[in-house]
Every structure is written in C-alpha cells, then in structure tokens.
Amino acid sequence: MEYPNRVRSVLGKLAPTVCAVLLLGACGDAVGLAAGQPATQDNPWIIDSRTLPAPVAASDVLREAIANTPQPDVAGHIQATTFATPEEWTASISMPNAGNAQRAQALAERWSVTITESEIAGVVVRTVTPAEIDAAHISRLFVHVHGGAYVLGGGLAGTPEAVMIAHFARIHVVSIDYRMPPEHPFPAAVDDVVAVWRSLLTERPAKSMALGGTSAGGGLALASTLRFMELGLETPGALWAGTPWADLTKTGDSHFTNEGIDRALVSYHGALEGAANLYADGRDLRTPLISPAYGDFEGFPPTYLVTGTRDLFLSDVVRVHRKMRVAGVVADLNVYEGVSHGDYAALTDSPEMHQVFGELGEFLLRHLQ
C-alpha cells in the first residue's frame, strides 16, 4: 500500500497515538511503550493551562451558578483558609454557621418541616419532621450526620440537608450534632454516632433505619458503619454517601485534575488539609475510622453514592464505590455533569437537588425494611 508522504510521516511519528485514539481497547497495550517523559511521582506530567467554559450540558441552574462564580483562585484560597490556631478556626466558623442556620430555618419554613432539639444518649440531636410522611416510612428513620469538614455545622447549622432529606424522601430524620474539633477531635464524632445508634437500636429494627450525609457527613456515615461492625452492632438498612470525605489525604487523582475547577472546595490545601489534621489530632490520616476509603466494606448495607465531574472528591467517591462492588455490596453510583463538591445540596430547587434527593428517597423505599 502506498501512503502519501505526509501520512507516512504521521504514522512513523505517532502510530501509538493514532492506534490509541481510534480503536480504543483494541491496541491500547501499545500505549506507553513509546519513549518519552514518564509520569512517576518524581516526574509528573505538566498539564497546560486551559480555558474552561461553563458546562453547556449541565442544568440551566447549575450552569448559571458556575457562570456567576468567580474563577477559583487556588493560591488565594490556600492563603485565606490556612488557619494557624484553634482561635482562628473558631473564628472562621461563626459566619458560615450563622448562614447555614438561617438556611435551615428558611427551608424548613418553606417546606413546612419542623425541627426540634433533644438528646439521645447524652448527644444533642434534632428531630426533623416533614409535612407528609411516606406511608411506607411511617415507622422508619433516617439518621443524618452533617457535613462541614468536621469543624463546621454544629448546632442548627448542621440541618439544611436533614430538612431536604425529610422533605424529598418524606421520612422522619434525626440529625446528630456530634462533637467536633478544635475541642473534640476524632474519635468523638464516631463515638457520638455509636452512642446514638446503640440507643436507637433498643427502640426499632436496625434495617428500618438509614444513615448518611454529605461530605464529612458521608465519610462519617461510612466510618461509623465500620465501627458498628467492629463492635458487633447491627448495621443500617441503607447508607447515603453524598460525595463522602472518605479519604482525608491527598491521594485521589481528582485532587490534582479538579484543583481550581471545583468551585466549592477549590483545593485540598488550605481549609481541608487543616481540618483533616485538626480532626485526626496526630493520628495516621489513613486510619479507616478516619478515612473509611481504607476500610473493609464486606457486608456493608446498600449504599447510594453521588458525586460530580468537577468534584475534588470524584476519585475518592468512585474508589469507595468500586471497593464496595468488589466486596459484593449493593452500591449505586451517580455522577452529575459539571457538579462541584456538594452543588446538589447547595443549589435549592436545582434539577440536581431534585434528582439526588428524589432518587435517594426511592433507594430508601427499596432497601429499608
């Protein structure tokens, strides 16, 4: 066969690329055999600067929110959210907490959801009751653990997501106001969830209850379930792991690929890294009860997982999902176009919010007993 000169030169220079590009999964073994700069830890790839439009295929609500978000400033973010002392942490918490408490009240009022405070086993909880309970859920319960990187979300500020779950899934919710650093690092949060869980187990069947939350809440739900199993306690009928902070180290690939692209988290460095160390309080961050991605999911309850293509935690969520599936767990992964960490809970009335919490509701109907 005679090739034009240009094509022959192309084939000579770039055959592995042509091969890889066009017949995926068929000649890919050849990829990586060409000479060039390897991507080891010591010699990583340098990814060029790129332009990133707002995602055309995301929902209108999300796309507009992104279009109106100032371009994430990684260096500025790290500088502004690196806190040196417990006092700086405490100070950084009060303003967002006030906003979140207001949001919880506004959502509750709008959807006619009630929030009442009490205690279970000495731990402060908030009972969140929707206007209408699904007939199938009358005697069931969703046990909610809030997000906030283990530092934010104390008090009423931890309940906006609990209100969403109660409203969309039409189920009773108890949201645990677990203890947090700086005063109470790990294992206080896990201990509080265990204490509440033990108490709830005396009142109702384990499989009639779900456990879960978003971000640190998702991670804490996974870690607490690992702890239940260590203690020989019965596990919930279903888990909700919304973009769970399942690995408190910078290990997942998306921490590199989505840095400066996730509009909510921006970067591992700064607040997240600081919060990880504050929570672990000198312990190895890879301890499974701190970073449940390193735990054993054998025998875990059915788990509903959500993340987004722009989520800094994308890799960590899919790692947990894979590990669960390999362990034989019923694990349902859902990834949203253009969604940064927690956008689905942040954007009230977005299609993402409706889909995530609506489908979570269907998942609970399918798996709670």
Map the footprint of a copy of itself across residues 122-161, applying CB under 8 A: 146-149, 151-153, 157-158, 160-161
Q: Among 9-17, 172-180, 187-195, 284-292, which window interacts with a copy of itself (CB under 8 A)?
A: 9-17
Q: Among 108-116, 123-131, 279-287, 326-334, which window interacts with a copy of itself (CB under 8 A)?
A: 326-334
Q: Helix axis angle, 86-110 relative to 160-169, nearest 10°?
A: 30
The residue behind tokens 């209850």 is 209
Q: Is the peptide bond before 86 cis (omega within 30 degrees of 0)?
A: no
Of the pair 192, 259, the CB lying nearest a copy of itself is at: 259
Q: Is the peptide bond before 182 cis (omega within 30 degrees of 0)?
A: yes
- 264 and 346 Cβ atoms separated by less than 8 Å: yes
Among 77, 137, 144, 170, binds a copy of itself (CB under 8 A): 77
Site for a copy of itself in 101-120 (CB under 8 A): 103-104
Of the pair 168, 228, the CB lying nearest a copy of itself is at: 168
Q: Residue 328 — left, alpha, or beta (φ > 0 → left; ψ -120 to 50 → alpha)?
A: left
Site for a copy of itself in 29-48 (CB under 8 A): 29-41, 44-48
Amino acid residing at 304 = Y
Among 171, 194, 197, 214, binds a copy of itself (CB under 8 A): 214
- Between CA 200 and CA 202 the distance in angstroms is 5
Site for a copy of itself in 328-347 (CB under 8 A): 332-338, 341-347
Per rule CB under 8 A, is residue 86 in the interface with a copy of itself? no
- What lies within 8 Å, CB to CB, of 50 at 6+ separation is none
Q: Helix axis angle, 216-230 relative to 188-201, nearest 10°?
A: 60
Per rule CB under 8 A, is residue 296 in the interface with a copy of itself? no
Among 220, 272, 289, 290, binds a copy of itself (CB under 8 A): 272
Per rule CB under 8 A, is residue 244 in the interface with a copy of itself? no
Of the pair 189, 264, the CB lying nearest a copy of itself is at: 264
Parallel, antiparallel or unpaired: strands 303-308 and 331-336? parallel
Per rule CB under 8 A, is residue 299 in the interface with a copy of itself? no
CB of residue 340 vs a copy of itself: minimum separation in angstroms?
9
CB of residue 221 vs a copy of itself: minimum separation in angstroms?
14
- 31 and 20 Cβ atoms separated by less than 8 Å: yes
**What does residue 313 show for φ and ψ, rounded to 5 degrees?**
-95, 5
Of the pair 200, 353, the CB lying nearest a copy of itself is at: 353
Site for a copy of itself in 248-267 (CB under 8 A): 251-254, 256-261, 263-266
- 365 and 134 Cβ atoms separated by less than 8 Å: yes
Among 196, 318, 360, 368, binds a copy of itself (CB under 8 A): 318
- 87 and 94 Cβ atoms separated by less than 8 Å: no
- 141 and 204 Cβ atoms separated by less than 8 Å: yes
Of the pair 141, 149, the CB lying nearest a copy of itself is at: 149
Per rule CB under 8 A, is residue 183 in the interface with a copy of itself? no
Per rule CB under 8 A, is residue 303 in the interface with a copy of itself? no
Per rule CB under 8 A, is residue 177 in the interface with a copy of itself? no
Among 86, 94, 131, 203, binds a copy of itself (CB under 8 A): 94
- What lies within 8 Å, CB to CB, of 145 at 6+ separation is 175, 176, 178, 189, 193, 211, 212, 213, 216, 217, 220, 221, 224
